[in-house]
Structure 1
Amino acid sequence: MRLVRREVAPFNVERLRTLAAREGWLVESPDALRAGFGRRLLRVALDDGLAGTTGVPPALAGVELTGDDGPSGTGALAFATLPFDRARAGQLDVPEYLVTQTPGGRAFLTAPAASPDPRSLVESVDPPRQGLQAPVELELRPTPEGYARLVAQAVEELRTKELDKVVLARAVRGAVGAVIDPGALAARLRRREAVSTLYSLPTPERRRFVGASPELLASRRGVEVRCHPLAGTIALPSDGAAEGYGEWLLHSGKNLHEHAVVVDEIVARLAEAYDDVSADPAPSIVALGSVAHLGTWIVAHGDPAPDALAVARLLHPTAAVGGRPRDEALTALARLERHDRGHFAGPLGWVDREGDGEWWLGLRGVVLDGAQFEAWAGAGIVPESDPIAEREETRNKLAVVLAALLSESV
């Protein structure tokens, strides 16, 4: 398969975003908007899941790329949203059209030479008009009270077993009166969560995962990989002001402990594959619309360096979404949660034929299936955790995406 990359005039961002969110592949980070649409040119099955990957699949690595020069992430690449379960099958999709557009105004179009110019297709997209909808069905799994009891049970296990941390999640499932427009949901999330990475990706189950993730699992560019784990959370007031709240978070022993567990684990795993690994000496505040987190930048260099899929395999699931030690924590959460997370907290993003790529965690998202929806949120449980506080943390996280979907609070 041969693709041609051309530097082109910028597209209308809103229409491009809407098209990709509705029927294609969308990953819009603060650095670039990547929109795939049109036919699926190539599907690469990961039958053994992320755990069974050995690097960039030959089918993707063998794609020919001609045309204009361009930066990483503008050529032959595949999108994916991978399950939380490392052993569960996933897939990589190469779209017919890939548009990469930067805030600085540069735009690149990558497509087969025989494919017609897509600009008229993008310009013909109807803008999203669907408003918030009232739920006609709603199920909390577990109930808020049941979740608090699970947290209390987990705290007891943490105090008696060799577990540093376990992440417990809960779900909201429901339905609204009309088929949900992913384009309208994506537009509202973009306005509400401007510093997060917006995504809308099809799943192998023919559903669509739409959300705004604040957490970068890994960005690989050549010999360098960068990670930005988040752990430790506080709810912000309705005006989003982080002053005072962030200062409290920076001095919260429980949250600092929870964050250190995550950072230490990622540094240790990167050290298995990279010669040079460094982390910020102290966390900083990452303020979002309704919550603030502790975040730490971690950078690693190595030559040769693992490709983006190998890095995801090395790191996922981190202690930010699973726990530590990894295997013991996953065993505990499987017993406590008793529900399949699906794509929640799994890696999502893209990888190109050279092995560069970016993966975010599938957080602050909702899985859409017609008029039905499912959203998840989790909290990191450590021995100092308070069950009621952790329950409220998950409520605040769920509110991020549900407020962009529903006309009533849950």
Structure 2
Amino acid sequence: MTSSSPGELGTPAPALVARTVEIDPAQVDDLLSLLPSDDPVSWVRRDEGLVGWGRAAELRTAGASRFDDAAAWWSELTSRAVVRDEVTEPGTGLVCFGTFAFADEPGDSVLVVPSVVVGRRGERAWLTTVGRGLEHLEHALVAAEAPRAPGGIAFTDGALDGEAWMSAVADAVSRIERGDLEKVVLARDLVARADGDVDVRWPLRQLSSAYPMCWTFHVDGMVGATPEMLVRRERGLVTSRVLAGTIRRTGDDERDLALAAALARSSKDLEEHEYAVRSVADALDPHCSSMNVPEAPFVLHLPNVMHLATDVAGVARDTRTSLELAASLHPSAAVGGTPTTAAVALIAEIERMDRGRYAGPVGWMDAAGDGEWGIALRSASVSGDTVRLFAGCGIVGGSDPEAELAEAQAKFVPVRDALGG
């Protein structure tokens, strides 16, 4: 295993050997069922995507240089690797999974190359094995032992209770209304403790089942089901799904349709959404020869909430990898605010918690630089018997603290339900 101390690339290890072979898609109808407890990683949506386990190589880094460190390490690793790829699809050959800290400080970031990766896309499926020699290149696929549900879950407030967090929201609104900034995203955390170590595969399976339209992910303890694609790069096409503006569902179809129509007309939510779309379009524009930015958002319906959503697309003009594009987008207005510098400074001042990797890029990349990076939303950090859940809300002028608290509570629901809480 290769590793590095924070902010350093470390000494290169012997070259990796990777082999990708095509397999029968019927073998991988349920990708998550293949995952053992040995360092599982996941990026799955609608029964397609990538899962993996084991660690053939790893980079840990931190600080303002975390994205540059990761890009340099991956470039060095792939340039020396021996790859036999019989499938040649995005996500075949040598693949890494990553999860990155939201802020420059504190927080650590990780890139992992699994020993085994299984992928499925449409009618094609594949198996990639990675190691330091030839002995690893044969691997039989079998369903792993099923995970156990966590027991004795108890929830407590994180850094701020509801009242204190509403006070922070009110403070942010007053600063916005006096012109200090236009928008800020404030998050809060909730802490769950179980009566034993939590098997991350349990919430992973529950999230995938309940939220099939989201990207269900796990990398190095960071687990969630994100509805937001920060950036996808595939054979020269760059896309990003922007979400901002949220309303909670009631479970009554007629009522929810009326709420969706109200969301689509809400000046507060449309303003918040416009900031987010503009920040993504402005960040991608230097790297794309042409771009399509829809004039109006659509309403994305999820089981617990509805969001205003816009899909931005462009044609890459340079060779920047998907990770480098993700770095240029982070933090977008959807998770930081506008202007970025003022919003991030206000978050550090009044949010009063370490976000860790919450709202940072999470996803995967192959040796060609193609990949998918979501934003770690509807997510939690799992460590031993402790799970730290996160939820955030976009605050603009006129935001109501009680309504924002209700929205944050709704955004806790996916992971909370997945834990059985």
User: What secondary structure sits across from 1:404 in the alignment?
Assistant: helix
Aligned to 1:63: 81
1:117 matched to 2:131: no
In structure 2, the partner of 1:263 is 277
Share of identical aligned residues, percent?
29
**Deviation per CA, 1:119-150, whole angstroms, max 9, x where unpaired?**
35x33x112342x6443452333111111111
Out of 4, 8, 22, which is 1:7 matched to?
A: 22
Pairwise CA distance, 1:101: 1.3
1:153-172 aligned at under 5 Å gives the runs: 153-172=171-190
Give 1:326's match in structure 2, choosing from 334, 340, 345.
Answer: 340
Partner Cα separation in structure 2 for residue 4 and residue 18 of structure 1: 19
Shift of 1:221: 1.2
Displacement of 1:22 after TM fit?
6.2
User: Aligned runs of 1:247-396 on 2, under 5 Å?
Assistant: 247-396=261-410
Alpha-carbon separation, structure 2, partners of 1:147 and 1:351: 36
Seen in structure 2, the aligned counterparts of structure 1 residues 320 and 15 have a Cα distance that, compared at 3 Å, is closer
Contact 2:31 2:51 in 1 (8 A): no
Distance of aligned partners of 1:253 and 1:385 in 2 relative to their CA distance in 1, 3 Å threshold: same
CA contact (8 A) 2:57 2:113 kept: yes
Asked if structure 2 preserves the Cα contact closer than 8 Å seen for 1:364 and 1:400, the reply is yes
d(CA) in 2 for partners of 1:181 and 1:342? 20
Q: 1:222, CA displacement in angstroms?
A: 2.8
Matched, 1:95 2:114: yes
Gaps of 5+ in 2: 1-15
Distance 1:116 1:72, change over 3 A: closer
1:152-186, Cα deviation, whole Å (9 max, x unpaired): 10000011134110000000013122322222211
CA RMSD of aligned residues (A): 2.1
2:68 and 2:336 mapped to 1: Cα distance?
15
Residue pair 2:185, 2:335 contacting (<8 A) in 1 also: yes
Could you tell which deviates more after superposition, 4-13 or 227-236? Answer: 4-13
Q: Aligned partners of 2:252, 2:208: CA distance in 1, in Å?
A: 17
Is the alpha carbon distance of 1:240 and 1:140 closer, same or farther for their aligned partners in structure 2, counting shifts above 3 Å? farther
Paired amino acid for 1:232: G
> In structure 1, what is the Cα distance between the partners aligned to 2:148 and 2:59?
35
Structure 2 CA distance for partners of 1:8 and 1:402, relative to 1, 3 Å:
same
- Maintained 8 Å contact 1:20/1:26: no
Q: Rate the CA distance shift 1:163–1:46 in 2: closer, same or farther, 3 A.
A: same
CA distance in structure 2 between the aligned counterparts of 1:54 and 1:6, rounded to whole angstroms:
26
**Counterpart among 32, 37, 44 of residue 59 in structure 2:** 44
Match of 1:28 in 2: 44
2:408, 2:37 → 1: CA distance? 26
Task: Pick which of 70-79 and 135-144 moved more.
Answer: 135-144
Is residue 77–residue 353 contact of structure 1 (8 Å, CA) maintained in 2? yes
* Deviation per residue, 1:225-252 (Å, 9 max, x gap): 1000100000001367742221111001
Q: TM-score, normalised by structure 1?
A: 0.91
Q: Distance in 2 between matches of 1:274 and 1:373?
A: 39
Moved more, 241-250 or 355-364: 241-250
Q: CA deviation at 1:49?
A: 1.0
Separation of aligned partners in 2, 1:262 and 1:90: 24
Residues matched between the structures, number: 397
How far apart in 2 are the matches of 1:155 and 1:90?
31
Counterpart of 1:174 in structure 2 is: 192
Normalised to the residue count of structure 2, the TM-score between the two structures is 0.89
Instruction: Name the aligned partner's letter for residue 107 of structure 1.
Output: A
Q: CA, structure 1 residues 243+136, in 2 after alignment: closer, same or farther (shift >3 Å)?
A: closer
Higher mean C-alpha deviation, range 109-118 or range 217-226: 109-118
Matching residue of 1:237: 250
Aligned counterparts, 1:185-204, within 5 A: 185-202=203-220
- Structure 1 position 222 matched with structure 2 position 238: no
Confirm or deny: 8 A CA contact 2:45 2:212 kept in the other structure: no
Please list the CA deviations of residues 53-75 of structure 1 after superposition, one character each: whole Å capped at 9, or x if unmatched: 65653113432321413211122
Range with greater deviation from structure 2 (78-87 or 392-401): 78-87
* 1:401 is aligned to 2:415: yes
In structure 1, how many angstroms separate the alpha carbons of the residues matched to 2:68 and 2:408? 28
**Partner of residue 205, structure 1:** none
Q: Within 1, Cα distance between the matches of 2:199 and 2:191?
A: 17
* Greater shift in the superposed pair: 181-190 or 289-298: 181-190
- The 3 A distance-change label for structure 1 pair 327 and 61 is farther
Q: 1:53 to 1:129 in 2, by over 3 A?
A: closer
Q: CA deviation at 1:25?
A: 1.1
Distance 2:110 2:275 in 1: 31
- Asked whether the equivalents of residues 22 and 182 of structure 1 are also in contact (C-alpha less than 8 Å), the reply is no
